[in-house]
Amino acid sequence: MILSDSKIRAALREGRIVIRPFRPECLGTNSYDVHLGPYLAVYRAAALDARRANPVEECRIPEEGFVLIPGQLYLGVTEEYTETHGYVPFLEGKSSVGRLGIDIHSTAGKGDEGFCNFWTLEMSVKIPVRIYAGMPVGQLIYFEISGTVDKSYSAKGSAKYRKVSAHPTPSRMHLNFRRPRAVPRKGR
């Protein structure tokens, strides 16, 4: 089930949901509006490698805005730091943002129970669009969990995105390749 505004407020009071900064006017009927933080990053390489760390170049969004262009992936970040304990958060784009042709995530809209961080946005556009730091960009929706969680995201040693950062975090896919591979046994 999706939490209503009253359930989100109760979870905030209990500390099961943390949103900093919290603005009461951003709480909708069953979601909370989040805003674009001040930083954008783009990968430096024209071709990315899933087995390696891919360096990014970061910039601060100027006061006059920044024009996103089609064919380029931008990593943004939410202005809000969030924690979710006992619920599963989903980040979806706002309809007003979608109607400008902006996608805020390509695949990573679901957070894990125990996620405590800023949200990195995987932004792309259909046509050039000028964006601004602080603009509403998405909405968090919280789902109740059925059953107990054995190990929260924040407690998993293998969690790749636990280091808190108010800057966009590039892919850490390369860390998946560091796990030892099983060595095939030779037949007799």
What is the spatial distance between Cα 54 and Cα 34, in angstroms, rounded to a whole number?
Answer: 27
What is the spatial distance between Cα 117 and Cα 165, in angstroms, rounded to a whole number?
Answer: 7
Active site residue 92: no
CB atoms inside a 10 Å sphere around CB 118: 21
Tokens of 21: 């900064």
Of the listed 83, 92, 113, 122, which one is catalytic?
122
Q: Are 138 and 34 in contact (CB under 8 A)?
A: yes
Q: Which long-range contacts (CB under 8 A, 24 or more apart) does 9-14 make?
A: 11/86, 11/87, 11/142
Q: Are 82 and 18 in contact (CB under 8 A)?
A: yes
Tokens of 6: 């009253």
**Which of the residues are catalytic?**
122
